[in-house]
Every structure is written in C-alpha cells, then in structure tokens.
C-alpha cells in the first residue's frame, strides 16, 4: 500500500472528513472503498479528480473542500516521482521541469490556495511528504533537489503562518515498502521482489524497511492536537537510515 492511501485510511479511522484528490478518480475511489472496509468513517468523504500541476486545479480543490466541509483543518501533500532522474550532466531539462513541477510546485500551489482559509480560521495543519534523499548523498539530481526544497518551503510556511495558528511540518520517509518503490525497481533491474526487499532491508539500521502505515501514523500525530506545539519540524520515519546517510 502507498503512503497516501494508508494516510487517508488512518485519517478516516480517526473520524476525519476526507476529500481524496488524485489525477485518476478510479484510484481515489479504491481508497474510499478501503477506508470503509478498514473501519474508517466515510461520512461526507468524497473523491475529486484533479491534476495538481495546474494552479486552477489546486484552487478548485480548495473550493470543493470549502463547499463540502466549510473549512480545511488538514492539508496533506503526498505526491512525488523520481522517474527519469539522472546525474546532473545527463539530466534533460524537460525531465528536471517535470519532476520539479510534480514534486515541488504542486505543494507550493496547494499551500498557496489553502493558507488563506487556514489563516482566516486561525487554525490548520499542513503536512508535506519529503524523503531522506533530501538530506543524504544520492546519485541523481532532480528528486533530491525537489525534496530538499520541500523541506525549505515547509519551514518557511511554518514561520510565516505560526502567528495565525497554522502549523506546517515535513515527514521524511526512508526506505518504505510501497508499490512505487518496489515495483519500479523490479521493472528497472529485472530482479525479483524478494531480492529487492532483502537488499533494502539490509540498508536500514533497524533491520527492515518501514511500510505505509508507519508514515500514516506519523501524519496522524502531526495533524492532531497532540502536536499543537510542533511546527517547522522535519520528522524522519526511516528506521535510523539517516544515522548512516546523513
């Protein structure tokens, strides 16, 4: 299961009213079904198809949430790709632009359009998903750069909006056993799933990869009142990976 889907389920289990946004409505509807199957509240939950690389779509997401719920308490930005990334000397500009637009610009635009709502409410929690790649040596450029910029963006938003009761934090996942991470490596290397998982497990000090629920639990904490005094934080969920890399 992917991080975003697990987080939506955990939010629903805590009683949140969720607007599930995806470029593919069918994927979001699958998440909605799983929310109900796993004991989550689907009261007022809805699916909204949108391409968050377009500013008009980001504005429309915020408008739809306000129309349905009257407020926005949590903005959870979980999106990213590293497909096509390469070393600096070999990276096509169009791939740089594509990765930066999806990973970084989308989060900026969602924050831009959500912040006026949260500032008026004088309350809100923004959670952006980064990566340990942002804080450690990596062989490719655009993904690392985009995730590092997400860290900086979030810290700026936290400082800029603290006086309005708006918190902003970053989850920094390490090696997580998700379909995007595993299936891509199977395709690219021709190796089997067990080999890929074993190799990644051995890289983690704690001895195994995390899963999407580990990221989701962290998101629930950062969204909750228990984290009311936490803002501008980069929270690693990495089994100690940064102790080796960072």
**Regions in the chain scoring below 50 on pLDDT:** none
Please give the Cα distance from 195 to 207 (Å, whole number).
Answer: 15
Q: How many CB atoms lie within 10 A of CB 177?
A: 18
Please give the Cα distance from 46 to 32 (Å, whole number).
Answer: 8
pLDDT tens-place string over residues 145-172: 999 999 999 999 999 999 999 999 999 9
Mind telling me the catalytic residues?
Answer: 143
Q: What are the structural domain ranges in the chain?
A: 73-245
The CA distances from residue 46 to 21, 28, 37, 148, 149, in Å, are: 9, 9, 16, 32, 30
Q: Is residue 6 within 8 Å of 180, Cβ to Cβ?
A: no
- Could you give the dihedral angle defined by the CA atoms of residues 129, 155, 163 and 123, in that order, rounded to the nearest 10 degrees? 0
* DSSP characters over 150-214: HHHHHHHHHHHHGGGTEEEEEEEE-SB--HHHHHHHHHHH---HHHHHHHHHHHSTTSS-B-HHH
73-245 fold: Rossmann fold (3.40.50)
What pLDDT is recorded for position 178? 84
What pLDDT is recorded for position 181? 79
pTM given for the model: 0.94
């Amino acid at each position: 299961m992917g991080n975003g889907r697990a987080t939506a389920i955990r939010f629903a289990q805590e009683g949140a009213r969720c607007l599930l946004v995806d470029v593919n409505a069918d994927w979001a509807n699958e998440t909605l079904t799983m929310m109900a199957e796993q004991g989550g509240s689907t009261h007022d939950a809805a699916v909204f198809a949108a391409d968050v690389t377009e500013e008009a779509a980001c504005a429309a997401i915020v408008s739809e949430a306000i129309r349905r719920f009257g407020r926005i308490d949590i903005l959870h930005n979980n999106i990213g790709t590293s497909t096509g990334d390469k070393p600096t000397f070999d990276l096509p500009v169009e791939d740089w632009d594509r990765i930066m637009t999806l990973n970084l610009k989308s989060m900026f635009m969602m924050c831009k359009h959500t912040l006026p709502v949260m500032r008026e409410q004088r309350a809100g929690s923004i959670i952006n998903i980064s990566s340990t790649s942002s804080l450690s040596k990596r062989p490719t450029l655009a993904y690392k750069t985009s995730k590092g910029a997400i860290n900086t963006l979030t810290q700026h938003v936290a400082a800029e909006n603290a006086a309005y009761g708006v918190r902003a934090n970053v989850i920094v996942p390490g090696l997580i056993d998700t379909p995007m991470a595993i299936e891509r490596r199977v395709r690219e290397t021709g190796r089997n799933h067990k080999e890929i998982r074993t190799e990644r497990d051995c890289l983690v000090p704690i001895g195994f990869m995390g899963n999407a629920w580990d990221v989701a639990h962290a998101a629930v904490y950062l969204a909750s009142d228990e984290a009311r005094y936490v803002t501008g934080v980069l929270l690693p969920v990495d089994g100690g990976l940064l102790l080796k890399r960072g």
